[in-house]
Amino acid sequence: MESKKVKIGKVYVDRDLCIGAASCVAVAPGVFELDGENKAVVRDSKGADDETILLAAQSCPTKAIIVYDEEGNQIYP
């Protein structure tokens, strides 16, 4: 069985959930960065391949990173 490849559309950080653990930045520095309040922001949602972005989202301890596909369906978490 082959899993369908999803294309990531939008990536979003829920600032209320983010605790500044920065694992997303470590996994995908081209996509995420910490702002002055130590919260992650999306600098470029195309700054890494889809697999890396998904890995970064999965690395977040508070699941603060919300990932949508190109049709706007939430694919993570």
Looking at the Cβ atoms of 6 and 66, the one nearer to ligand SF4 is 66
Q: HEC states along the chain?
A: CCCCCCCEEEEEECCCCCCCCCHHHHHCCCCEEECCCCCEEECCCCCCCHHHHHHHHHHCCCCCEEEEECCCCEEEC
- The verdict on 18 binding ligand SF4 (CB under 6 A) reads yes
- The verdict on 13 binding ligand SF4 (CB under 6 A) reads yes
- The verdict on 48 binding ligand SF4 (CB under 6 A) reads no
Please identify which residue in 8, 11, 24, 54 interacts with ligand SF4, judged by CB under 6 A: 24
- The verdict on 67 binding ligand SF4 (CB under 6 A) reads no
